[in-house]
Structure 1
């Protein structure tokens, strides 16, 4: 986790990156005509999707899109499959995703020869379901930004993900604010306040602890001060 540090004499100082710093760093990732993939990790509600979306929007500007966004959430298992496996009550845990499929798509995106559009699955939060073929990655995309909880997990099929990523940034947020955002998001998509709080405490926070333990494997830690805008994160 070398980034975000600067040496002054014999003293190592922590330097918080700005959003402009993040833009410059992301812009420099594609090299030698090869497509680069930037991963953004962090606990549920830490602001991953907000950061990923703003990076893509700012880097693309008004010109031809050269940056695409492919979220890990598109690889959620469908509710019917979670029911069959008996895992729906902890949806969002590592074994409720198609981790092998996610790693395979990332590998394809790295090796793509830019001749064809690659279609990635998206995730519809209103339905809480993955949607196949929802996100086109055009041949012009030289940078793909992918966000999700488990990019740095080193167990099972998740261990295949990190080798496909040029860098991984880890979003951090004040814990009380992160939990508040999570509860608000669950309420926005149909849960009562009591249901939202129960889900966060029972499921989301268990996953958050697992994700937090992977922070030291990140290339850069992104504090709240570098996150653009405000509102609920992912």
Structure 2
């Protein structure tokens, strides 16, 4: 998918240049309007004077669609492009509800088994993060929770998004969902990307990941877990993100060289 990563990186460069021009008119006047028409965040005066802005991209897709890889590879590709905007990827995995919270639920057994479903995340926290990222450019750093697979729980402040970051690629299953608090995010970002993947490919990827992470001791059990939890979650993503994207990205399995 090297060509896809390059295309997406070049798209971000063009998008960023266009947004800079919108906020640095030829007259030299400092803009005081919000960053875009979809939210209430604005630019601080010093950043606006330089024509600098922060662009937020929501990258959603089913489990096993390769969201994390796409985000990371696009960031890496941008790093090799002269004068490209400073870009980071931000995973929403840090908003998994802690195991202690799931164990305290009346339906604890189901909550543990279905971890990764929309209702097992702190969606309000994810929305608050997107708002903070949209309003903090040039003002302050933002601490982002991450997910530690070794302890199987979120870690507060595991990532710091510096104030000078110009593009944030947010990646998570439900960022374009039309239900609950998740539904607010599409209107808080500048671009919405959805990843499409063959269900059988996603199934294999997720089961392999479960096995490698030690979540299940055998491929048979890993596949069973995938069928019970991840496949329904993927179907949910496809259904509730329909028509809510600007770019549709097809995830494919690249041939191995060995």
Same fold (TM over 0.5): yes
SS in 2 for 1:80: helix
Of residues 208, 212, 216, the one that matches 2:243 is 216
**Cα deviations by residue, 1:48-95 (Å, 9 ceiling, x for unpaired):** 000001111221349898112211111101011011122112100101
Q: Would you say the 8 A contact 1:29–1:143 is kept in 2?
A: no
Q: Distance in 2 between matches of 1:93 and 1:123?
A: 15
Q: Is the 8 A contact 2:137 2:165 kept in 1?
A: no
Moved more, 71-80 or 116-125: 116-125
Q: Tell me, yes or no, if the aligned pair for 2:195 and 2:248 is still in contact at 8 Å.
A: yes
SS in 2 for 1:215: coil
What root-mean-square deviation, in Å, do the aligned CA atoms of Structure 1 and Structure 2 show? 2.1
Q: Check if 1:100 corresponds to 2:139.
A: no
Deviations 1:137-163 (A, max 9, x none): 112201001101101111111112111
Instruction: Flag the structure with larger Rg.
Output: 2
In the alignment, what sits opposite 2:11?
25
> 1:7 aligns to what?
none
Residue matched to 1:79: 99
2: CA distance, partners of 1:178 / 1:89: 19
> Which residue of the partner structure matches residue 57 of structure 1?
76
2:68 is the counterpart of 1:68 = no
Point out where structure 1 has 5 or more consecutive residues left out of the alignment. 1-16
Give runs of ≥4 in structure 1 deviating > 6 Å: 62-65
Q: Is the 8 A contact 1:100 1:160 kept in 2?
A: no
- TM-score, with structure 2 as normaliser: 0.77
Deviation (angstroms), 1:194: 2.9
- Hey, what's the Cα distance between the residues in 2 that align with 1:155 and 1:94? 9
| TM-score, normalised with respect to structure 1 | 0.84
**Aligned pair in 2 of structure 1 residues 128, 119: CA closer, same or farther (>3 Å)?**
same
C-alpha separation in 2, matches of 1:27 and 1:129: 35
Contact 2:6 2:74 in 1 (8 A): no
| Matched residue count | 213
Aligned mates of 1:113, 1:42 — CA distance in 2: 27
1 or 2 for the larger relative contact order (CA 8 Å, sep ≥6)? 1
Counterpart-to-counterpart distance in 1, 2:157 and 2:255:
29
Greater shift after overlay, 150-159 or 90-99?
150-159
Q: Deviations over 1:88-147 (max 9, x none)?
A: 121001011111111111111111141321111111223321111011111220100110
Q: Distance in 1 between matches of 2:137 and 2:5?
A: 31
Distance in 1, Cα, partners of 2:226 & 2:255: 20
**Structure 2 CA distance, aligned partners of 1:37 and 1:173?**
23
Q: Does the CA-based 8 Å contact 2:137-2:164 persist in structure 1?
A: no
